[in-house]
Amino acid sequence: MGKRTLILAVGFVLFWNSGFIGAEYGLPYAGPFSLLFWRYLGLTAIIFLYLLLSKRFQWVPWSIAAPNMLVGVLAHGVWLSCVLLALDQEVPAGIVALVVALQPLATGAFSGMVVGEPTPWFRWLGLIIGFIGVTLSVIPRIDFGDAASVFGYLIPLGSVIGITAASLIQRKMQVNNSTQHLPVDLALFYQSLATTLVLAIPAVFAENLAAEWTTEFIYTMLWLVIGVSLGAYALMWFLIERMDATRVASLFYLGPPVTMLMAWIAFGDIPAIMDIIGLTVVFAGVMITQMKVSGQRV
């Protein structure tokens, strides 16, 4: 992995996982759909203004806009709605993180079929090792006596499906040099616009767009919009353009341990010994998945 790619990967991991901390801060002040609606309404407005000022804005044909908007609904709307709904129903964050960590395996299983990028054996080994590390980090934190509904525990599977499909669609457009592939900023606009429109339905009819606009909530929203929605997603698409989908997906294995470390700083949740062990195993797995295939672009 080149130095620039490594910097992009580290930035993505930090910015992406800060979203879980932001959700913990924001959910007490708004329902899941309302929080996401206001977040993506603000994001759409910022990107639109930037594109206008930089004279980069353009309305593209529906045949080009549609796949990019679909990626947005899957990668933003489905992914985040399922995560927030699970947290809102008091499903333990460790279980949510563990289920979401299935996403790299799903991407690896389907990347050859969809994108034409078969996964070599050592990358499967790295993915499996990473999954073991995630399990070591999360299992000790799970309360197996929790009586939450089975449905609540299945909700995060929607996140896995959404982000996997979005990653593969985006990568396929890039690999095939498709005319549907847009510049990152313009693509983010169409993704954000579609996400806002879709989220408006449950936010209005299920939650009446209710939100408590306290100072803490406003600061949380600013970070979720600028740091996570702009920063993390832009970094992810840059990485997908430089690496195959399976290698980018392997970075999600760092999610649970990194989130735990952030929770330690934000909420005083001190990591246990098994968290450190799990983090070490995850790091080893990710390093294996990042090995270069002969002749492959990194």
**Per-residue pLDDT tens digits for 191-215:** 999 999 999 999 999 999 999 999 9
Residue 295 covered by a domain: no
Per-residue pLDDT band at 135 (split at 50, 70, 90): confident
**Is 245's pLDDT higher than 80?**
no
As a whole number, mean pLDDT of residues 235-255 equals 77
Higher pLDDT, 81 or 260: 81
**Is the overall model pTM greater than 0.85, yes or no?**
no
CA distance 287 to 296: 16
What is the model's pLDDT at position 1?
Answer: 61
Domain count, the chain: 1
Residue 298 covered by a domain: no
The residue segments making up the domain with residue 126 are 3-289
Residue 297 covered by a domain: no
Residue 257 covered by a domain: yes
CA distance 247 to 292: 10
What is the model's pLDDT at position 154?
Answer: 80
Residue 138 covered by a domain: yes
DSSP letters for 123-137:
HHHHHHHHHHHHHHH
Contact (CB, 8 A) for 169 and 71 = yes
Query: Residue 5's CB: how many other CB atoms inside 10 A?
Result: 16
What is the model's pLDDT at position 188?
Answer: 87
Contact (CB, 8 A) for 290 and 8 = no
Per-residue pLDDT band at 149 (split at 50, 70, 90): low
Residue 205 covered by a domain: yes
CA distance 171 to 114: 9
Residue 48 covered by a domain: yes
Average pLDDT value for the chain: 83
**Is 164's pLDDT higher than 80?**
yes
Residue 171 covered by a domain: yes
